[in-house]
Amino acid sequence: MDKYDIIIIGSGPAGYTAAIYAVRANLNVLIIGGSKPGGQLMITTDVEDFPGFRKIQGPELMKKMREHTLSFGVKIIDEDVISVDFKKQPFRLKTDDKEFEAKSVIIATGASAKWLNIESEKRLIGKGVSACAVCDGFFFRNKDVAIIGAGDTALREALYLAGICKTVTIIHRNGELKAQKVLQERAFNTKNIKFLADSAIQEFIGENKLEFVKFKNLKTNKISELKVDGAFVAIGHTPNTLFLKNQLKLDNSSYIVVHDNIKTSVEGIFAAGDVHDFKYQQAITAAGAGCMAAMESKEFIENLKHKK
């Protein structure tokens, strides 16, 4: 069984940053990066809000982070962790064909955006269809966009986009919004936010870029089209924590519960990035959390030595 000081689960900005800080602290580090390494940035086009890069493609940024991490000699395996045992030291982790031990673990598996799962959506992701207003809203300044969703995520995105875009149309299946009342009031009082209730998206229309959204009124069954330059699917995220069930404290939405920013319910296990952060969900905040997790992990391992 391979043994490490720190095992990092996940290969997004949080995971790579944690690895860089940990290996520079002279710790033996392994990244178990997942079968689809790189995280949400792998489906992001232009990134203009990560310091040091005026504009860079999401996949290219992740490639640079991976290369930077590998340059320090960090071992990376692109496999999924299928189970863990955090009940005792050393902690154990299992992939499909191998088991590992670690004194400390940093979980940076992120969260996956929920999509509508229609063919035209997949085809136009990064070509007008997005799941992150903060990431991509800037590219639609002074243009018309749509938000699909009725909850807190949708209204927060709509309010953010209202300050950038010409118009924002919220399309939702419900007769009433599900978001907090304070968010609803702000949206209703924002002049360039419009609403299409009782409506469901049927198709995203456009060849090389989004041109229209086709939707159906669920009360009348009438099919209509709305001309937009961008559409943001804002129906929430699913944290990638299924393998942690009964091992760590999770909230009702399956995000890891943390205290002191990155500490979990098990001493020596730390969380970094979107796997616990459902508010900010940015590459730069994930990277910062990865740094904090590595430094805390280093301190935890030092304390282990003194306990022996």
CA distance 223 to 216: 4
Which residue among 5, 135, 152, 165 is the active-site one? 135
If you write DSSP's letter for every residue of 7-53 in order, what string do you get? EEE--SHHHHHHHHHHHHTT--EEEE--SSTTGGGGG--EE-SSTT-
CA distance 77 to 67: 14
Return the amino acid letter for 289. A
165 belongs to the catalytic site: no
Whose tokens are 């994930």? That residue is 286
Which residue among 136, 152, 229, 274 is the active-site one? 136
Please give the backbone phi and psi of residue 74, each rounded to the nearest 5 degrees, phi first: -70, 135
Peptide bond between residue 51 and the one before it cis (omega within 30 degrees of 0): no
Which residue among 5, 132, 229, 277 is the active-site one? 132
CA distance 111 to 282: 11
135 belongs to the catalytic site: yes
CA distance 193 to 158: 7
136 belongs to the catalytic site: yes
Give me the active site residues, please: 132, 135-136
